[in-house]
Amino acid sequence: MNHSTLLKSHYPWTSTPLIAAAPMRLIATTALAVSVSQSGGLGFLGIGTDSSVLAGLLSSCTSSLSQAPPIPNVPQGVLPIGVGFIVWGASLSEAVEAVKASPLKPAAIWLFAARQLSELEEWTTALRQASAGKSKIWIQVGTVAMATEVAAACAPDVLVIQGSDAGGHGLAQSSSIISLLPECADELSRRGFGDIPLIAAGGIMDARGVAAALVLGASGATLGTRFLASPEAEIRDGYRAAVIKAGDGGVSTARTSVYDVLRGTTGWPGEYNARGVLNQSYWDHGAGMDAVENKKLYERALEMGDEGWGEMGRLATYAGTGVGLAKEIMPAGEIVRGILNDVRRIQVVL
């Protein structure tokens, strides 16, 4: 079975190519996940490091979907929504309990940023069991070595290949998907793991990015930053406005740990940092301001609400290098339908 056929058989309500919305921690909640899945994509809930929110979000998606026209072709006992965990900080036992207790099992479970490979093996086995095999396992990786190790140890249903352009957390040292994805595809095939579908992530903002990812060997794409510019993303308007305003992401964003330090979201394994839009916090850090003073100013900016974001603001605006391609706020469903419509028209002229 080719990869697209395999994905279609696992998520039969989705269109080809598969468009997923990233499980952005506490940003991708019911509204975003549901609208993406209702529009022919696969929406993920961003559970992040707090497994205790899973049960509530699963039941809120179930209830939201039950009040809308049914999504066609959803397999029996499956919720057409994925859930994403940041493995180093989340509780596996709480996740298992919530999945077991949920009458509908999430269609996919996305794992990211484990401290060790053995954690991913443990999570994969336990969650496959808890969902009685109904939830497919997606694992996000950022290097060729990680892709082959994870393929061998966990036999995931999908590998998400995350390039360095990605917004939010990722490996401090990685390449963009333009070289990472084909090298992963080649190496996985060479080692006998060529049957695992690859989904590209990092810098993909529209149908052109999706088409490019397909040419590189992916069977679909995950977008995070693009969905920040949707009303369904659970962020403050100041954050959304800063995303719309930023352009030329190679210079207006950077990978850094500064925002984690200021927000107090520490604990990430050492090889991870996060890409965000540059602002006064970053520049002050670069100019040598000490962390205590910078944090004090950050906390003051929090009290300013929407005014705390923007170039002259101080609050974390995690977003990828593609940020300049998000020019307007658009409903998440329209984003998915637009990409699916446009990607079919793209022809590569040689």
Ligand X SMILES: Cc1cc2nc3c(=O)[nH]c(=O)nc-3n(C[C@H](O)[C@H](O)[C@H](O)COP(=O)(O)O)c2cc1C
Which window, 5-13, 159-167, 278-286, 331-339, contacts ligand X (CB under 6 A)?
Answer: 159-167
Given 41, 156, 322, 324, the residue binding ligand X (CB under 6 A): 322
- Looking at beta carbons only, is 102 or 164 nearer to ligand X? 164
| Residues of this chain, 35-54, that bind ligand X according to CB under 6 A | 46, 48
**Distance between CA atoms of residues 249 and 210, nearest Å:** 18
Query: Could you tell me which stretch among 1-9, 20-28, 34-42, 260-268 binds ligand X (CB under 6 A)?
Result: 20-28
Strand partners, 277: 253
Q: Is 146 in the site for ligand X (CB under 6 A)?
A: no
Closest contact distance (angstroms) between CB of 228 and ligand X is: 6
In the bound state with ligand X, the residue whose beta carbon lies nearer, of 39 and 162, is 162
User: Nearest distance from residue 260's CB to ligand X, in Å?
Assistant: 12
CB-hemisphere CA count at 13 Å for 253? 31
Contact by Cβ (8 Å): 278, 323: no
Binding residue (CB under 6 A) for ligand X from 43, 320, 324, 333? 320
**Residue 160 contacts residue 110 (beta carbons within 8 Å):** yes
Per rule CB under 6 A, is residue 203 in the interface with ligand X? yes
When the beta carbons of 25 and 136 are compared against ligand X, the nearer one is: 25
Q: Which stretch binds ligand X (CB under 6 A): 166-174, 176-184, 265-273, 287-295?
A: 166-174
- Contact between 167 and ligand X per CB under 6 A: yes
Smallest separation (angstroms) from ligand X to the CB of 209 = 9
Per rule CB under 6 A, is residue 86 in the interface with ligand X? yes
Compare residues 66 and 266 and give the one whose CB is closer to ligand X.
266
Residues 255-284 that bind ligand X (CB under 6 A): none
Stretch that binds ligand X, among 2-10, 87-95, 223-231, 331-339 (CB under 6 A): 223-231
3-state secondary structure the chain: CCHHHHHHHHCCCCCCCEEEECCCCCCCCHHHHHHHHHCCCEEEEEEECCHHHHHHHHHHHHHHHHCCCCCCCCCCCEEEEEEEEECCCCCHHHHHHHHHHCCCEEEEEEEECCCCHHHHHHHHHHHHHHCCCCCEEEEEECCHHHHHHHHHHHCCCEEEEECCCCCEEEECCCCCHHHHHHHHHHHHHHCCCCCCCEEEECCCCCHHHHHHHHHHCCCEEEECHHHHCCCCCCCCHHHHHHHHHCCCHHHHEEEECHHHHHHCCCCCCCCEEEEEECCHHHHHHHCCCCHHHHHHHHHHHHCCHHHHCCCCCCCCCECCHHHHHCCCCCCHHHHHHHHHHHHCCCCCCC
**Which of 225, 252, 253, 280: binder of ligand X (CB under 6 A)?**
225
Q: Which is nearer to ligand X, 45 or 196 (CB)?
A: 45
Q: How far is the CB of 155 from ligand X (least distance, A)?
A: 19
**How many amino acids of this chain bind ligand X (CB under 6 A)?**
29
Nearer to ligand X by Cβ, of 49 and 74: the residue is 49
CA distance 100 to 94: 10
**Considering the rule CB under 6 A, would residue 162 count as an interface residue with ligand X?**
yes
Chain residue whose CB lies nearest ligand X? 224
Smallest gap, in angstroms, from Cβ of residue 165 to ligand X?
Answer: 6
Q: How far is the CB of 192 from ligand X (least distance, A)?
A: 26
Q: Which of 97, 100, 56, 55 is nearest to 77 (CA)?
A: 100
Q: Considering the rule CB under 6 A, would residue 204 count as an interface residue with ligand X?
A: yes
| Distance in angstroms (rounded) separating the CA atoms of residues 174 and 253 | 16
Residues near ligand X (CB under 6 A) are: 22-25, 27, 46, 48, 84, 86, 112, 140, 162, 165-169, 201-204, 222-225, 318-320, 322
